[in-house]
């Protein structure tokens, strides 16, 4: 099958592109190589994809003519590209153009394909709001520009399913961790600062926040399991994550245990829009995708520490 992966040099997108190739599919990657975080990490991910035989086109989904620049025989799209996370460095325009305009353009491109089977939108638990413990039919209450624009992107995709113009589904991911995690994310930053002996900046009150910290390999298991299920999944929203909750403090302690030394903490003011609890309800994923994440937090952190030491130490 010929598959397009947007955001292909990103954290989860790169892992998914590799897995799809290992499953025997012909994968085309696109990415705009945004300077939002280290280009060195993106180059590292791109090199890994090249070794797997995956070429990545540098395109801006917001402005480029996708139908003229991308193949016309794509059958599946996995749409990871987005302005990620909750960051004071990102403007509303960043979220709006990258998450809404870009998604609209990818949808329009998909509609031009003659043998297209399924558009897989990659959503987020941030769509639910400050607490994300619900089934997929719960009314969303996003509390950040990121969550609001990701909800809008999701609805742009599912609109075309409701109009019977293309088959589409959306996967809402929960607190993904593991090798290639972005440098500003919790575990990469904990590992980096812990190895350097520098303090970790912790937002006030967040030590008690609960998270479904989910290993990236378990997430990819769920993402690729949609293949061949386009009739069953058309129009569906599905949560992907672990049902096991950990506090941020437990996450810090796990990194300390793996590194074998304590990490100093520097308390910062609260961050607006930060979720206080995420716990993935995956009953639907179990039923429709036979989804069963198994990696423990300790196993995931060990894999991430090993990866970090291999590439950055």
Write down the catalytic residue from 128, 146, 215, 291.
146
C-alpha pair distances (Å), 90 with each of 82, 170, 202, 271, 283: 12, 24, 19, 14, 34
- Rounded to whole angstroms, how far apart are CA atoms 16 and 76? 13
Please indicate whether residue 215 is annotated as part of the active site. Answer: no
Q: What is the DSSP letter of 226?
A: T
Q: Parallel, antiparallel, or unpaired for β 277-278 and 131-132?
A: parallel
Q: Which is nearest to 160 in space by CA: 112, 194, 202?
A: 112
- Rounded to whole angstroms, how far apart are CA atoms 75 and 260? 47
Q: Under DSSP, is residue 158 helix (H, G, I), strand (E, B) or coil? A: helix
Strand partners, 246: 211
Q: Under DSSP, is residue 26 helix (H, G, I), strand (E, B) or coil? A: strand
**Pair 208, 195: CB distance under 8 Å:** no
C-alpha pair distances (Å), 75 with each of 1, 25, 54, 102, 220: 7, 11, 17, 19, 19
Burial tier of 169 (Cβ tally within 10 Å: 0-12, 13-18, 19+): buried
Q: For residue 156, what are the contacts with CB-CB under 8 A and spacing of at least 6?
A: 100, 103, 104, 107
Count of alpha carbons within 13 angstroms of residue 221, beta-carbon side: 18
Residues annotated as part of the active site: 146
């Amino acid at each position: 099958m010929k598959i397009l992966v947007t955001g292909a040099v990103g954290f989860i997108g790169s892992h998914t592109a590799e897995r799809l190739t290992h499953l025997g599919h012909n994968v085309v990657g696109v990415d705009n190589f945004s300077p939002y975080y280290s280009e060195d990490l993106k180059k590292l991910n791109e090199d890994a994809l090249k070794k797997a035989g995956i070429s990545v086109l540098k395109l801006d989904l917001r402005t480029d003519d996708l139908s003229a620049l991308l193949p016309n025989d794509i059958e599946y799209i996995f749409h990871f590209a987005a302005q990620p996370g909750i960051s004071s460095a990102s403007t509303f325009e960043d979220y709006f153009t990258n998450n809404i305009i870009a998604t609209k353009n990818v949808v329009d491109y998909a509609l031009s394909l003659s043998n297209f089977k399924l558009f897989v939108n990659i959503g987020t638990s941030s769509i639910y709001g400050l607490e994300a413990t619900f089934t997929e039919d719960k009314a969303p209450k996003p509390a950040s520009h990121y969550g609001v624009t990701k909800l809008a992107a999701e609805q742009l995709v599912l609109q075309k399913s409701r109009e019977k113009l293309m088959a589409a589904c959306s996967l809402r991911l929960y607190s993904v961790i593991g090798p290639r995690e972005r440098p500003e994310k919790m575990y990469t930053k904990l590992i980096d600062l812990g190895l350097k002996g520098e303090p970790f900046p912790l937002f006030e009150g967040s030590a008690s926040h609960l998270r479904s910290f989910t290993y990236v390999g378990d997430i990819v298991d769920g993402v690729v399991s949609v293949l061949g299920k386009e009739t069953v999944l058309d129009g569906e929203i599905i949560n992907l994550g672990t049902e096991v909750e950990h506090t941020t403090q437990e996450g810090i302690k796990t990194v300390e245990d793996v590194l074998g030394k304590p990490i100093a903490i520097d308390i910062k003011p609260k961050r607006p829009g930060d979720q206080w609890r995420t716990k993935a309800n995956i009953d639907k994923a179990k039923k429709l995708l036979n989804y069963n994440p198994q990696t423990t937090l300790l196993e995931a952190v060990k894999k991430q520490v090993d990866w970090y030491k291999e590439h950055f130490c």
